[in-house]
Structure 1
Amino acid sequence: MSVGLCRRRRTVRSMQLLPEGFVLPPLPYLVGILLVSLVIVGVLYRRAQRITEQIVVGLAPWMGVGAGLYALEQARAIPAVVAPFASAPTVYLTTFAVVGTIVAVVGDRHPDRFAIDSTPGVVLITGTVVAVGVFAIAAVAAVRSPPVHVFWPGVAVAGATAIAGGGWLLFRSFLPTVIDETGRAGLLVIFGHALDGLSTAVGLAFLGFGEQTPLSQLLIDIGGVGLFVVVKVFLAVVIVGLLADYVREEPSEGNLLLAAIAAVGLGPGVHNVVLFTIVG
């Protein structure tokens, strides 16, 4: 639901559908990134790229990269010449263009296991290296504008980890086939949306941030941040449970859908955590 928070509270107009902060970059940037993305989609489609649980997990650091870049763009901590590539929603295409190129170059190498030369391994390793660089820049930006805020972001991360662990125990105890089919990709979905919900909650309740997404704001207005977190986590658990059969019958399509659902939770969650650390 949430795509991140804004620094100051704003009134959300009733007819507004898109989150605040969504802007289109200058035309040359937009045309360039769209063309590159379309070419990569065509290459991957023609190749019939297999999407496995391992590849979905390998994509997790790249989800953090896109989220971190967007937070740095909001904090004006990256050069202006590349800032348009890091604004929302362009940052999602930017991240896809990079990771999609990596997958296209690596090809379908041992997609079911992690190894240095396998597709999941290369995606995971490159994503981790880039993510460390992005988070290092965020840390420098935070140090340059003290105080550095780590407590509430840490609470959100710890809480999301606990919720994901609870979800795993729930499925393992009552619906073990869900874990068997969705595996770590399903847990990534639960963790991502728990992190989004909890980071949004602490940002609103303790750090003076405002919600950017009208639908999320409506839910918060109705039942507060507690209801927002519960609904986020509940929907994530239900979706993972419902997709188990689909993943078994259509593995690539099912895992691709899990990756997309994980991204719309983990991305905003990491964005919130990074933004809180820098300017919270």
Structure 2
Amino acid sequence: MILPSGFGLPPLPYLVALVGGAFLIAALLVALEPPVDQRTVVALAPWMALGGALHALNQPPIELYDAALVPLFGTPSVYLTTFNLMGAVWLLLSFFGVRTGNSGNISRNLGLVGTGVLTVILLLSAVTALRSGLVDPVWPALSVLLSLFVAAIAVLAVALWRTPLIIRARYAAPTVVFAHVFDGISTAIGTDVLGVGERSPVPRAIMEFAAGLPTASAIGSGWLFVLVKLLVAVAVVVLMDDYLNDEPVEASLVLSLVTAVGLGPATNNVVLFLFAG
């Protein structure tokens, strides 16, 4: 089994609407050609986190949505839902930017709108947790702060090793590394501290292997997954250096997808942690 538990397509009408919307928005974005560079990777990051947060609100013990909305926020439909929302905003900002002659601000504005929407969703999650009496802000906050610290150390180490690379990838590299460190640390906290079962088979296999090591009784089993995620993120940044220099648009889109693989699940984890009290 290579897919996470709970993976399932939504009912056909939802699937047609989501896939059709995604194709239409993607086609319009390709036709419009908004500016895409490393700053786009940063601008898309809050939208990736938004997808994780929206999915978390669809899971026990939260289950915030009305029955008619539930199929939009399962796995994998939440990815299409978030893409359609983000793509629609991106299109509107692109039209407005081109019309006003401020196309250079499109990525910045996309990031600001995404950050605003994400902030609202996180506040809604916190209020819901408070009303349920389950709120626990310690582990979400610790996950973020510890991830920022480890990611900063990792980026600094790479900068000392290959300074020109980090200068060239000064926006994308920290974003990619933080996203995957955040996923690794939040998953490790969920497994070792909160006793949350891991739904994805690959992380679960890594941590099951670590649980069989002599170190498990002292430092748990999540550390190995953190290390793997960190090494993979750094390897991607290093290997993408030439690609980012030669094909900045394509490379930035690829790095955005790589970031999403880490940041979405990580945000899903920390929103669920709010309800671990």
Alignment TM-score > 0.5, same fold: yes
1:216 to 1:250, Cα distance in 2 relative to 1, 3 A:
same
Residue 185 of structure 2 corresponds to residue 198 of structure 1: yes
Amino acid of the structure 1 residue aligned with 2:264: G
The SS at the match of 1:210 is: coil
Residue 216 of structure 2 corresponds to residue 216 of structure 1: no
Structure 1: 4+ residue segments shifted above 3 A: 47-50, 108-111
Residue 230 of structure 2 corresponds to residue 237 of structure 1: no
2:10 pairs with one of 25, 41, 61: 25
1:182 matched residue in structure 2? 169
Partner Cα distance (1:232, 1:117) in 2:
33
Two-structure CA RMSD over aligned residues (Å): 2.0
8 A Cα contact 1:50 1:108, kept in partner: no
Partner Cα distance (2:235, 2:255) in 1:
12
Return 5+ residue gaps in structure 1 as ranges.
1-15
1:54 matched residue in structure 2? 39
Correspondence list, 1:140-151, <5 A: 140-151=127-138
Q: By how many angstroms is 1:187 displaced? A: 0.6
8 A Cα contact 2:97 2:103, kept in partner: no
Q: C-alpha deviations, 1:11-62, integer Å up to 9, x for none?
A: xxxxx22101112212111110110001111122233443211111111111
How many pairs align?
262
Partner Cα distance (2:124, 2:104) in 1:
28
Partner Cα distance (1:17, 1:147) in 2:
32
The SS at the match of 1:147 is: coil
Amino acid of the structure 1 residue aligned with 2:263: L
8 A Cα contact 2:191 2:197, kept in partner: yes
Correspondence list, 1:2-151, <5 A: 16-74=1-59, 75-107=62-94, 118-151=105-138
Partner Cα distance (2:130, 2:254) in 1:
38
Return 5+ residue gaps in structure 2 as ranges.
211-220
Amino acid of the structure 2 residue aligned with 1:255: S
Partner Cα distance (1:133, 1:48) in 2:
29
Q: Percent identity at matched positions?
A: 36
If the length of structure 1 is used for normalisation, what is the TM-score?
0.88
2:151 pairs with one of 151, 155, 164: 164
Q: By how many angstroms is 1:79 displaced? A: 2.4
Q: C-alpha deviations, 1:155-205, integer Å up to 9, x for none?
A: 211111011111221122121122122212211111010110000001011
Partner Cα distance (1:181, 1:256) in 2:
16
Partner Cα distance (1:78, 1:43) in 2:
30
